[in-house]
Structure 1
C-alpha cells in the first residue's frame, strides 16, 4: 500500500493506494472520521475497510482530509472535505479509467461526506456507512438516494444515536429502485472498541451478497 500524494483543491492530499489487480477491477474509496476529533486515514476502522476491499480485488484509496497529517489546507466544516473527496475520486478514476464499478465507504464524519459524494457521482453503485452522524448533520440531501447500500450502527453508540440512524434508514427505505440494509451491532459504542469483529463481519456479509454475480441488487 504505497504512500502517495494526490492533488486536492487546497494543495496536496496524503493518501494510501492499492492499485487494481486486474483490468476492469472495481474501485473503492474509504473516508475517515472527523478531523477535529482525531480522525485520520490510519483510524482502525478506516484501515479495516481499506484492507477488506483490497482482499476482494478492488483498487482502493484512503486519504487524509485537508489539514490532517501531510494533507494541506484547514478544516472546512465538511464543505472543503467534500471537495477533497471528489478530487480524490477523480484521481482514482483517472488512474483506472476502465473500472467496472465504484464503491464508497466511510466511518462517522466520513460516512456523511461519502453519502453526499454519492449524490454527485452517479457511477457510485454501492456504499457502506458506519455510524453515519444522523443526529449531528442534515441528511435531507438524500432525496432520493441514488444507490443501494448498508448503514451499520452500534446499539450502545454514545455519539451517534441509534434512533436517529433508524429514522434515516426508514426514510431511505421509502424510496423506490434502491435497497437499504441496516445492521445494529449489540453493545457496540461509537468506535466499536470491543465489537470490531462483529462490525467487519457485517461489512463482509453485505459485500458477499452484493458482489455475488446472482445478486439482484445492481
Structure 2
C-alpha cells in the first residue's frame, strides 16, 4: 500500500493508495471517522474496508482529512472535509480516468462525508455507510439519494443510535430507482470491538451481490 501525497484545498493530503491491477479497474475511496475523536486513515475499520476493496481489484485510496497526520490544514466541521474528499477523488480519477465505476465507503463521520460526496458526484454508483451519525447531523440532503448502497449499524451503539439510523433507512427506502440494504449487527457497539468479523462479513456479502454480473441493481 504505497504512501502518497496529493494536493488538497488547504495544502497537501496524505494517503495510502493501491493502484488498480488492470485497465478500467473500478475506483474505491475510504473515509475515516471523526478527526476530533481520534479518527485517522489508520483506523481499524477504515483499514479493513481498504483491504476489502484492494482484494477485489479496485484502485483504492484511503487518506487523512485536513489536520490529521501529515495532511495540512485544520478541522472544518465537515465542510472542508467534503472538499478534501472531492479533491481526493479527483486525484484517483486522474490516475484511473477510464475507471469502470466508482464506490465510496465511510465509517461514522466518514459515512456522512461519503454520502454528501455521492450527491455531488454522479459517477459514484455504490456506497457502504457504517454507523452514519444520523442523530448528530441532518441527512436531509439525500433528496433524492442518487445511488444504491448499504447502511450497517450496531444494535448496541450508544454513539449513533440505531433508531436514528433506522429512520434514515426508512426515509431513503421511500425513494424510487435505488435500493437501500440495511444490516444491524447484534451486540455491536459503535466501534464493533468484538463484532468486526460480522461487520466485514456484512460488507463482503453485499459486495458479492452488487459486483455479481447478474445483479439487478445498477
TM-score by length of 1: 1.00
**Equivalent runs, 1:72-87 vs 2, <5 Å:** 72-87=72-87
- How big is the shift at 1:158? 1.0
Partner of 2:188: 188
- How big is the shift at 1:129? 0.0
- How big is the shift at 1:111? 0.1
Partner of 2:105: 105
Q: Deviations over 1:190-216 (max 9, x none)?
A: 000000000000000000000000000
1:165 equivalenced with 2:165 (yes/no): yes
TM-score by length of 2: 1.00
**Equivalent runs, 1:1-218 vs 2, <5 Å:** 1-218=1-218
For residues 7 and 213 of structure 1, the distance between their equivalents in structure 2, rounded to whole angstroms, comes to: 36
- How big is the shift at 1:175? 0.2
Q: Deviations over 1:88-112 (max 9, x none)?
A: 0000001100000000000000000
- The root-mean-square deviation of aligned C-alpha atoms, in Å, is 0.2
- How big is the shift at 1:47? 0.1
How many residue pairs match? The answer is: 218
SS in 1 for 2:160: coil
For residues 164 and 95 of structure 1, the distance between their equivalents in structure 2, rounded to whole angstroms, comes to: 38
SS in 2 for 1:205: helix
Q: Deviations over 1:17-56 (max 9, x none)?
A: 0000001110000000000000000000000000000000
SS in 2 for 1:46: helix
For residues 80 and 62 of structure 1, the distance between their equivalents in structure 2, rounded to whole angstroms, comes to: 17
- How big is the shift at 1:174? 0.2
For residues 155 and 36 of structure 2, the distance between their equivalents in structure 1, rounded to whole angstroms, comes to: 24
Q: Deviations over 1:51-93 (max 9, x none)?
A: 0000000000000000000000000000000000000000000
